[in-house]
Amino acid sequence: MSKNDALNVDRVHPEAVLAKHMKTAAIRQAAAHAVAAEATTYHADPSAPIGLFDSGVGGLSVYLHLAEQLPAERYVYYADTLHVPYGNRDSTDIERLTLRAIEWLYQQGCKLIVIACNSASAYALETARRCYPQMPIVGLVPALKPAVLASTTHRVAVLATKATLNGALLNKVIDAFALPNNIEVTKYFDPLLVPWVEAGMPEADETARRLRQQLTVFAQAGIDQLVLGCTHYPFFKGFLLEEIARQQLSIQVVDSGQAIAERVKQLLLSNQLLVSANIKGNGNNHINEYCNDDSENDSNAHRAIATNHQISPVVRLPLTFYASKYDDTLGALIKQLVGQETVLQYASK
């Protein structure tokens, strides 16, 4: 399939496909509290794909880092675009939708799954791990630790969805790490940021104006570290950096994409699931379980995401993208976010 023909394939809504897995997922969820979350050796095929899940296209920012670090791997991405965004939903709904998506990826034979959504991780990560004790599952939490370590003003802001800001994962890091270091954490939530990214981030939009204004407010409050706590947000990191430079603000922007890629690589190595062609790096980097740490090269990687999203010149394998609701606008947006060098294949039944 050529790059120009990449979008001209069969497209289906996955509701019918997912329905047959719902009973299995429900059984797993009901039994979750009875399953011991033990570290069990997972014997999967190294050639199996890595699964990624997000409520929308935001998790593609994670995919870009994975594709750079592990270009020889195959990737299957599931976007629950029928129910995006998750950040405004209640915890029960988020858990239900997340477990359904994970079940679908599990049925595709994925060897590892990344919950590339902070909101889904906040409310479903631990349950998912209990449901699938042999499956390596990587979750996200805003990269607060590196921001705390880098702050000189002792004031940090976390930009995230309401679900993430209220979730146990982030607040555990605040209580265990930020407060003991006398760091004041400001939580900021704008429900229109995810829809803005899904719409292609038009700069004339009111959401863009509000974001510019909020940067000024952060600077006036003495905040010197801004944590992007949603996988959609790295796509407008370039926008933030340009505005910070224009206003001459002393704010650094932090997110956890690079750390997630390193964590996935570490898990694949430890479970002997890494495709041998992945030779970049030594795989010995230690990353916290919830990917709170960023590498020193993180800013360069995310600047690449923020510009034309061409992180690496390597030839990537096709990305299989599956959406619960598809239209031509979504296809154009995906191409805008991941770059023309990535070949897309839409899964079909």
CA distances from 116 to 120, 137, 301 (A): 8, 10, 17
Find out whether 242 and 171 touch, Cβ atoms under 8 Å: no
Which residues does 250 contact at the CB level (< 8 Å), separation at least 6? 219, 224
> What is the C-alpha to C-alpha distance for residues 203 and 195, in angstroms, rounded to an integer?
13
In this structure, how many other beta carbons lie within 10 angstroms of the beta carbon of residue 46? Answer: 13
Per-residue 3-state assignment (H helix, E strand, C coil) for the chain: CCCCCCCCCCCCCCHHHHHHHHHHHHHHHHHHHHCCCCCCCCCCCCCCCEEEEECCCCCHHHHHHHHHHCCCCCEEEEECCCCCCCCCCCHHHHHHHHHHHHHHHHHCCCCEEEECCHHHHHHHHHHHHHHCCCCCEECCCCCHHHHHHHCCCCEEEEECCHHHHHCHHHHHHHHHHHHHHCCEEEEECCCCHHHHHHCCCCCCCHHHHHHHHHHHHHHHCCCCEEEECCCCHHHHHHHHHHHHHHHCCCCEEECCHHHHHHHHHHHHHHCCCCCCCCCCCCCCCCCCCCCCCCCCCHHHHHHHHHCCCCCCCCCCCCEEEEECCCCHHHHHHHHHHHCCCCCEEECCC
In this structure, how many other beta carbons lie within 10 angstroms of the beta carbon of residue 47? Answer: 12
Catalytic residue numbers, as ranges: 117, 230
Which residues are 208's β-sheet partners? none
